Chains A and B, each alone.
Chain A
């Protein structure tokens, strides 16, 4: 039994993958709580999809994925801005995001694209480099530091958005900051988890934690812990079932959410 538990960790790439996942879990877990509480899940998913054409083009041209993702986000922002002027902003955004994502898939899956480019869709945590780890560390410092400073203002925004201005908080500026943090997080995490699965690490652990506690700080710690545990579990599933690590991690996160929902229904709320 112990042998089976330890076996995957003999490989340094697996150890590095876990470290990457724990670092991303720390920032995504805490940020995800705000994504869920401020009802920004759709925005997070849209950001992830909007950057996809940029990621694909970067992979095809040999540019850093980070640069491609950032360019993709900028292009997505322009597309969303133009689409939102159509009158029905939400529909416009949905059309723009779907069009951008479709464009990326079209390029990625065309016969001319090199093999392996589909990894951008589903990710590969086992392929993380030292530079990826450094980026994930920087992300954790930036996101956790920002959330610590903004904690009171974010709580006010979520609790009483209409009254925020009277208490010295400009909702629009804070919204932009949070969306910026989501964009940076997605940009960093997408390389390990893939474009389709990156949103899972932001949403699923936070949504699970929200069902299990009504306190903000414990909710963030729990979300980060659940995300890290899902990373650990996903690596085992991937190792022993021979499935893609990114998909296995996302699957464990969803299973955790379902279990958390069940547990919240069975146990009286604190």
Chain B
């Protein structure tokens, strides 16, 4: 299968003494969902910024077109006066000359993207008035309208109730099945077990492969360090980060 994304020995940082990520290699093929596991500050966002072209890097990045990112909904201003359709239309900006406004073609594409995530009837709703799950799906529609074959989802399940999380899980599966590669930053080990592959990242790639091969106590412990605990029954739980 032709890979949609090939990273070889990629390093990037923010100008400090140490790189935020170093020596990361990864291949993603169409139809794959890849969990990107790692602690806060471990380099997940840095990796995504490299893939969207926002951050310069060393090493080789080859991908089919530019990846589209689906940020955490908390990063957006919920009080900003935009509708769901307005938000999706933002995904068409890069494809237009600077002087051209969104026209009929872009609006049709945006409505189609909203339909693909099951929100065609909420196009006119204020973004801030939508539920957390609906907002996440609007942002996925914004990524879809960019025609990207590689999608980057930044902790999309954070704060979602169980039905919304299930719906989003099914949506990511459907989008991957349509021939996309999807990288999903997450802390949920059990959810990651249901996806095709896992990349454990803590400034460097700790492990990468199928969930069965990668999600061993040793690899997860090396990724999360002291924030990982073993609970009754043998399961592993990641403790939320403490901010002092």
Q: State the A residues within 8 Å of B (CB).
A: 37, 148-149, 151-153, 155-156, 158-160, 162-163, 165-169, 210, 213-216, 219
CB within 8 Å of A: which B53-82 residues: 53-54, 68-69, 71, 75-77, 80-82
- In the complex, what's the smallest C-beta–C-beta distance from B57 to chain A, in angstroms? 15
Q: A160-B75, A162-B75 are in contact. Are A149 and B99 (CB under 8 A)?
A: yes
**Interface pair A159/B91, CB less than 8 Å apart:** no
Whether a CB of chain A sits under 8 angstroms from the CB of B8 is no
User: In the bound complex, what is the Cα–Cα distance between A152 and B81 (angstroms)?
Assistant: 12
With an 8 A cutoff between CB atoms, is B101 at the interface?
yes
* B102 contacts A155, C-beta separation under 8 Å: no
Contacts of B99 in A (CB 8 A): 149
Candidates A152, A159, A210, A214; contact of B101 at CB < 8 Å: A152
B91 and A155: CB pair below 8 A?
no
How far is B71's CA from A129's CA once the two chains are assembled, in angstroms? 52
Nearest to A166 among chain B residues (CB) is B52
Residues of A within 8 A of B76 (CB): 159-160, 163
Q: Are B71 and A158 in contact (CB-based, < 8 A)?
A: no
Query: For chain B, which range describes its interface: under 10, 10 to 19, 20 to 34, or 35 or more residues?
Result: 20 to 34
CB neighbours of A165 from chain B (8 A): 52, 54
Whether B162 sits at the interface, judged by CB under 8 Å, is: no
Pair B93/A163 contact, Cβ less than 8 Å: no
For residue B146, which residues in chain A have a CB less than 8 angstroms away from its CB? 167
B101 contacts A167, C-beta separation under 8 Å = no
B interface vs A, CB < 8 Å? Answer: 49, 52-54, 68-69, 71, 75-77, 80-83, 86-87, 89-95, 98-99, 101-102, 126-127, 146
Residues of chain B within 8 A of A162, CB atoms compared? 71, 75
Contact B54 A166 (CB under 8 A): yes
- The answer, among B68, B69, B80, B92, for a CB contact under 8 Å with A159, is B80
Query: Contacting B82 at CB < 8 Å: which of A153, A210, A216?
Result: A216
Q: Check A215 against B81 for contact (C-beta < 8 Å).
A: yes
Q: Which residue of A lies closest to B102 (CB)?
A: A152
B71 touches A163 (CB 8 A): yes
Contact, CB under 8 Å: A37 / B81: yes
Is the pair B94, A168 in contact by a Cβ cutoff of 8 Å?
yes
Q: Is the pair B93, A159 in contact by a Cβ cutoff of 8 Å?
A: no
Residue of B nearest to A210 (CB): B81
B residues within 8 A CB of A155? 80, 82, 86, 90
In the complex, the answer to whether B80 meets A37 with C-beta atoms within 8 Å is yes
- Write out the residue numbers on chain A whose beta carbons fall within 8 Å of the beta carbon of B83: 215
Residues of A within 8 A of B54 (CB): 165-166
In the complex formed, the residue of B with least CB distance to A148 is: B101
B76's nearest neighbour on chain A, judged by CB, is A160
| C-alpha spacing A57/B124, complex, angstroms | 52
Complexed CA–CA distance, A158 and B146 (Å): 20
From residue A54, how far is it (CB to closest CB) to chain B in Å? 32
Closest to B152 in A: A166
Q: Which 4 A-B pairs have the closest CB atoms?
A: A168-B94, A166-B52, A156-B90, A159-B80
Contact call A166/B53, Cβ cutoff below 8 A:
yes
Tell whether, in the assembled complex, residue A151 and residue B101 are in contact, meaning their CB atoms are under 8 Å apart.
yes
A153 to B89, CA, bound (A): 10
- Interface pair A160/B81, CB less than 8 Å apart: no
Among B52, B68, B77, B95, the residue within 8 A (CB) of A160 is B77
Chain A residues in 8 Å Cβ range of B81: 37, 210, 213-216, 219
- Set B69, B75, B101, B127: member contacting A149, Cβ < 8 A: B101
B residues less than 8 Å from A158 (CB atoms): 77, 80
